[in-house]
């Protein structure tokens, strides 16, 4: 049996954590993202930040720290004070990085705490307007006829859009050069400008360009056709086993108390249920999620295992 003093001390800590959670926040909160302004995740995070600001009655600032597949931002938050005032919203890249980067300066599973999944969406497989292909099969044939001459952009090495391109290479045997950028807006701009051949943007960045006839959409990468692009086929219709979904999730530094993590998660889920926000997400072809910390943590581990297997099978390495 534990000494009475230890039991009382533990109870006092739990009570203090609960009180702290109830009072949170009493000052501005910063949400750090690892991508440049104008990217899909930047757009969605700012919409979520507005709802959290309204709910909390405090400013919620979005801090862009692009680079290194969003690992600069993740490392920054992992070293922040564990008080809930510095949070991370990142992409599925956080589940990919441990298998792709030989050494990270933080451990996603030890130095960060899952708060909740924000959203999920497919990628668009988009190509530049003057590329002489109109289907996935034609793209593959064209790439095989021009080995090493094709390229594809991404929002950064190790991101979901990068891995979508690498997976296409692995499953079809085509040879394309990866051109990483510091954000989706830049990657899309060079596709529109014809400087790169292909890109796998998230819907918020890609959809306006497709509907504006600035690029060609050959396919989407989800498990079912996108409601936003119902006439565009699935990539898996041509390339068996090709399914890639881009998801965003919120994390906190590892030391943030359980009660506070639960409060932030619940407030995030409530924000995602807001009718106005849900409509804006729907207009962009994005599904709001709002899972709890336990479910989200299990999801991230499953995603890590999936991508680790794909990276190993395809012998995908950083170059």
SS3 295: helix
Distance, in Å, from the CA atom of 163 to the CA atom of 157, rounded to the nearest integer, reads 8
89 in Cβ contact with 31 (< 8 Å): yes
Alpha-carbon gap, residue 309 to 303, rounded angstroms: 10
b or e along 230-269 (b: 16 or more beta carbons within 10 Å of the residue's beta carbon)?
Answer: eebbbbbebbeebebbbbbbbbbbeebbebbbbbbbbbbb
Residue 192 burial (10 A CB sphere; 0-12, 13-18, 19+): middle
Burial level of 287, CB count in 10 A (0-12/13-18/19+)?
middle
Tens digit of pLDDT for each residue in 221-275? 999 999 999 999 999 999 999 999 999 999 999 999 999 999 999 999 999 999 9
The residue written with tokens 């001459």 in the block is 149
Residue 28 has pLDDT above 70, yes or no: yes
Per-residue pLDDT at 295 exceeds 70: yes
Q: Which domains are present in the chain? A: 4-121+247-313 (3.40.190.150), 122-237 (3.40.190.10)
What SS3 state is found at 114? strand
In tens, the pLDDT along 159-199 reads 899 999 999 998 999 999 999 998 888 999 999 999 999 99
Dihedral over Cα of 128, 133, 135, 138: its sign: negative
Q: In whole angstroms, what is the distance from residue 90 CA to residue 210 CA?
A: 25
Residue 161 CA to its chain's centroid (Å): 9
| 129 has a pLDDT exceeding 90 | yes
Whether 201 and 184 have beta carbons less than 8 Å apart is answered as yes
Local confidence band at 13 (pLDDT 50, 70, 90 cut-offs): very low
Q: First-to-last CA distance in the chain? A: 56
Q: Does pLDDT of 27 surpass 90?
A: yes
- Structural contact between residues 246 and 232, judged by C-beta atoms closer than 8 angstroms: no
In sequence order, the β-bridge partners of residue 51 are none
pLDDT band at residue 102, thresholds of 50, 70 and 90? confident
Query: Which helix or strand (DSSP H or E) is residue 72 part of?
Result: helix 71-78
């Amino acid at each position: 049996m534990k000494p009475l003093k230890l039991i009382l001390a533990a109870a006092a800590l739990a009570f203090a954590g609960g009180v702290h959670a109830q009072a949170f926040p009493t000052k501005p909160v910063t949400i750090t993202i690892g991508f440049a302004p104008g990217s899909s995740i930047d757009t969605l995070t700012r919409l979520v930040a507005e709802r959290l600001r309204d709910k909390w009655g405090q400013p919620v600032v979005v801090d862009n720290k692009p680079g290194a597949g969003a690992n600069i931002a993740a490392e920054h938050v992992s070293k922040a004070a564990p008080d809930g005032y510095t949070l991370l919203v990142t992409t599925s890249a956080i589940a990919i990085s441990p298998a792709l980067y030989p050494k990270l300066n933080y451990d996603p599973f030890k130095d960060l705490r899952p708060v909740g999944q924000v959203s999920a969406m497919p990628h668009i497989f988009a190509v530049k307007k003057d590329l002489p292909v109109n289907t996935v099969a034609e793209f593959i044939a064209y790439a095989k006829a021009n080995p090493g001459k094709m390229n594809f952009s991404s929002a950064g090495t190790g991101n979901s859009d990068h891995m979508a391109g690498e997976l296409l290479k692995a499953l079809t045997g085509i040879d394309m050069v990866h051109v990483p950028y510091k954000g989706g807006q830049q990657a899309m701009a060079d596709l529109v400008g014809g400087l790169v051949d292909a890109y796998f943007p998230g819907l918020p960045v890609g959809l306006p360009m497709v509907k504006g006839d600035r690029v060609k959409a050959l396919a989407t990468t989800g498990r079912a056709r996108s409601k936003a692009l119902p006439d565009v086929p699935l990539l898996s219709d041509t390339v068996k086993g090709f399914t890639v979904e881009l998801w965003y999730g919120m994390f906190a530094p590892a030391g943030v108390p359980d009660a506070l993590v639960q409060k932030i998660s619940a407030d995030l889920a409530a924000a995602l249920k807001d009718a106005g926000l849900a409509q804006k997400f729907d207009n962009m072809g994005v599904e709001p999620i709002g899972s709890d910390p336990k479910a989200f943590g299990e999801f991230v581990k499953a995603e890590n295992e999936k991508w680790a297997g794909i990276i190993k099978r395809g012998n995908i390495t950083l170059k």
